[in-house]
Chains A and B, each alone.
Chain A
């Protein structure tokens, strides 16, 4: 109870919310609802993880969902014009990586601030997407492809959930166990010192944007497979939610601190909140209000607990002096 980290407070909150919804929301624990939540989580959490990694470097990626929809559209065009699934996926991957590369070049090589670059590329990618699709949605996939979004492993766990769990583990390992991961945190906390300590910051940054576009690609595969179509505004509502999930998860917007598990907790909180309130019959705009309230409330709790701790440690110090 003594050294409760930000993430554990959030975890406790998550458990509390789950218990609350199970008790009060009718049908929350019904298998159909649990299944829904399992299908709704992956695309959002993968995008949120991508956003978190970028935020760790004191950046932000506003183009994230548009990278996803652009690569989704390319996959959809390839599939509907008869290419095989691996070929279509490859095409989508290449497009996503090209987008990531473009972001990376501007941020890492030229050194423009990420919010500006990704704001520009966000509009650019949306524009390219619009001029390809003319705003129409593209559909008509082989049913094998749809299994990625709607299928089950061994008839139990949704495929997309498995992909999500794998990616969560991969991201955790990459951030904590590799040189790149450490340099990501260092770039975020002090880029100049990091540069002087002999780390190629621009290369690390480059990989951050490639990583986020790769995650956007995976999310777009899941989304296109689940929704059976691709369109210019696919998933655009997730953009600010991703930032919100990352910061609720304890990631510092100035970079340098943030844990994968925190973001995962935050995504789960949003999910439970939205499903639970819906089952309770609450108006959808109140869901938005609740998300905002929780965002602020959790941080107030963090603040209060850190204040209490400070006071306690001052008292203890005073005692030990006496």
Chain B
């Protein structure tokens, strides 16, 4: 065992000597970037990277991004990790840099984790933007935001109060995951709205994680309803949590007593909106978001920056604040209008 320790020690020692020779630049990198300047095909290549592939929300934005690609005559590569893991997302972006695309638009799982790789992309002459969730603001050229995060968080708190019919009483929050940055942001803004304008509302426990799974949201809502019998309202963040929560409320027959608002897609939540267990779902059209991202990416390559009040065909009028582009206000889906939407 002593031998092993000694060996370890030697390794540590030698490596500490070698640390002196570390540099941040690869010797070959300067000559290489000139090579990558020459693109083999003249069609603009736009890579759109979601947080993960294979969930309804990002599928819908894929449809929009691909449609934009066809209509605007650009090549759209829509690829992302199969799990919402920052490390896997970095790998995907590195591979895209190898493919020498023109633009990388990413929805970061963890914005800080992407900073080094986005720097690398910029050095390779690739335009960098973010969409859905902001990345490092110093690196991106355009930041496409579906929504004004502050307004959205506050809006959720407001519609909850509206549905509860009172601004006092107990409420709870369900979230997709404790580490989901944009969900946390909305929850923080919603809580701020509650603190400032509805001081009599009482959050019974910290936000409850549901692991992005409907069955967990269902079980935990049942438990919440039992643990806090005076519960009057629930805010559910993530696209499946509202569905599970609605199922629990329906099973208990509490449709009239417990108000539920959440961030769900209209097609998924339609049955729950119709039976009254889910009062309001509010979201934007993710397909439009995908479309807008690709449209702005194409203009970026052509050297055009978006302007405030610009009317993007197929999307509508956008709001621009500095680098940030805001697509527009969210749509509230209720039993009356949800059937009109197809996403």
Contact = CB atoms under 8 A, between A and B. Distances in A.
In the complex they form, whether A and B have CB atoms below 8 Å apart is answered with yes
A156 B1 contact: no
A35 B92 CA distance: 14
Contact of B15 (A166, A173, A278): A166
Interface stretch (B20-28, B145-153, B267-275): B20-28
A184 to B, nearest CB: 11
B12 to A, nearest CB: 10
Interface stretch (A50-58, A134-142, A185-193): A134-142
A129 to B, nearest CB: 10
A180 B95 contact: no
> Which of B15, B24, B27, B77 is packed against the most chain A CB atoms within 10 Å?
B24
A137 B179 contact: yes
B69 to A, nearest CB: 14
Contacts of A231: 86, 110, 113, 179
Contact of A237 (B32, B79, B87): B87
A180 B1 contact: yes
Contact of B98 (A27, A130, A163): A27
A23 B74 CA distance: 27
Contacts of B28: 31, 155-156
Interface of A: 27, 30-33, 35-36, 39-40, 43, 130, 133-140, 143, 146-147, 149-156, 159, 162-163, 166, 170, 173-174, 178-180, 207, 223, 226-229, 231-238, 274-275, 278-279, 281, 283-285, 288
Nearest to A207: B1
Contacts, number: 167
B211 to A, nearest CB: 11
A227 B110 contact: yes
A149 B87 CA distance: 13
B25 A155 contact: yes
B208 interface: no
A178 B2 CA distance: 10
A279 B82 contact: no
Interface string B62-89: 0000000000000001011111111110
Given A130-B178, A152-B26, A284 B53 contact: yes
